[in-house]
Amino acid sequence: MYKLSFIAAALLMLISCGDKSKSTEDFSKGSSTEEATTTEAADPSSYDPNRGLGKHSSVDLGDKLDVAMAKKGEEIQAVKCSSCHKLTDEKLVGPGWKGVTERRKPEWIMNFVTNPDPMIDKDPALQAQLELCLMRMPNQSLNDDDARNVLEYMRQNDGVK
pLDDT band at 63 (very low <50, low <70, confident <90, very high): confident
Reported as a single tens digit per residue, the pLDDT across 77-107 is: 999 999 999 999 999 999 999 999 999 999 9
Let me know if residue 67 belongs to a domain. no
pTM: 0.72
Residue 29 DSSP symbol: S
Which residues does 89 contact at the CB level (< 8 Å), separation at least 6? 95, 96, 98, 99
Total of domains in the chain: 1
CATH number assigned to the domain comprising residue 97: 1.10.760.10
- Identify the domain containing residue 144 by its residue range: 87-161
Let me know if residue 71 belongs to a domain. no
Let me know if residue 41 belongs to a domain. no
